[in-house]
Structure 1
Amino acid sequence: MRIAHALYQRFSQLIHELAKFGTVGALAFVVQLSTTNLMWTVFGVSALAGQAVGTVVATMVAFLGHRHWTFNTRARTGLGREYLLFFIMNGVGLLIQLGCVGTTVGILGLDSPLARNISGNFIGVGLGTLFRFWSYRLWVFPAEAKHMSVASHETTAPPAARAAEEPARQA
C-alpha cells in the first residue's frame, strides 16, 4: 500500500491532468465526430475536408476546456501565445489524422464511412491525442513560464499561487 500511495503522491498532478484531459477530450471527440460525419453525410464534403472541419471545431471546444480546467494550475503565458501554440499543436495532430485517412482512402482504397471513421476518428485521433497531451504540457501550458512576451499582461503564476499571494500583497 505504501508504494501505491507514494506513487500516487508523486504523480497526482499528472493523474489529475490526464483525467481532466480525457474528459475534455471526450467532449471534443463527440463534437469532432458529429461535425465530421455531418460534413460527410449532409453536406457531401470530401473525406479530408470533412475531417479538417470537424477537427477545427473540436479544437476550439478543447482549447477552452484545457485552458480553463485541465491545465488551470499551470503558468499563464498569455492568451494569444497559448491560443497560437494550441492551434499549431492541433495542426500537427490534424496532420496525423489526415495521414491516417489519406492512407486508408488513397493507398489502401478503403473509402467507406466505416473505414474513414476507423482510420481518422479512432486511429488518427488516438495517435494525435498522444502527441497533443505531450505538447500541451511541454509548450502550450508549461509548468513555469520561461519565455514571457513583453506584450503579455497576464501574470505567469498559476491561479492557486496568485490566490495565495493576494493576502500577502494586501497586508
Structure 2
Amino acid sequence: MLDAATAPSADVRQRTGASLATQVMRFALVGGLGFVVDVGLFNVLRAHAPEGVHGWTIAAKTIALVAAIAVNWIGNRLWTFRSRTRRTDTAREAVEFFLASVVGSLVALVCLGVSHYGLHLTSAFADNISANVVGLVLGSLVRFVAYRQWVFRAA
C-alpha cells in the first residue's frame, strides 16, 4: 500500500489523465485524416481496378494503408506525441512506427479478407464496412497502444 509520501499527488494524476485524454483526442484527429486518405485512395483504386488482376482489392487497400501510415506518422510525431521526449534516432522511430502501423493495419486486411474472400461479401459497401469500420476500430486500438508504449514511449 502506498503511503502519503510515495502516492502520486492529485496534481500529477490530473496532468497524467489530461495528457492521456489529450493524446487520445489528437490520435483520433490525426487518425481521422489518415482515414480520409486511406478510404479515399482505397475507393479510387478499387473503382479503377486493372482488368484481370486477381487480388486487386487487397492490393488497393495495401497501397491506401501505406499512404495513410505516412500521413499518420507525420501527424502523430509532430502533434499527438510531441510532448514526449524526442528521440534523436528519427529513422528508427519511423521504422518502429511503420511496423506498429503494419501490425494494426493487418487487422483491417484480415477483416477485409475474411469478409470479401471468405464470406463472399464483395460489394463496395461490404468491403468498406469490413475494412474501414470493423478493421479500423480494432486496428486503431492496437496502433494506439503500440505507439504510446513502444514508438513514442516516455524516456
**Shorter-chain TM-score category?**
0.7 to 0.9
* Residue 97 (structure 2) aligns with: 86
1:3-82 map, 5 Å: 8-44=14-50, 46-77=56-87, 78-82=89-93
Equivalent residue letter for 1:113 = A
Equivalent residue letter for 1:133 = F
**CA displacement 1:13-60 (0-9 Å, x = unmatched):** 000001110110001100100000011002447111111111100110
2-structure distance, mates of 1:112, 1:10 = 44
* Residue 115 (structure 1) aligns with: 126
TM-score (norm 1): 0.77
Match of 2:135, SS state, is helix
1-structure distance, mates of 2:33, 2:14 = 26
Equivalent residue letter for 2:79 = W
TM-score (norm 2): 0.85
Match of 2:109, SS state, is helix
Q: Structure 1 residue runs of 4+, over 6 Å off?
A: none
Match of 1:138, SS state, is helix
Q: Which runs of 5+ in 1 are unaligned?
A: 145-171
1:135-150 map, 5 Å: 135-144=146-155
Q: Which runs of 5+ in 2 are unaligned?
A: 1-10
The Cα of 1:10 is off from its aligned counterpart by: 4.4
* Residue 115 (structure 2) aligns with: 104
Aligned-pair identity in percent equals 36
1-structure distance, mates of 2:97, 2:12 = 33
Aligned length: 140
1:126 aligns with 2:152: no
Match of 2:122, SS state, is coil
**CA displacement 1:66-113 (0-9 Å, x = unmatched):** 000000011222211110000001111121111000100111111110
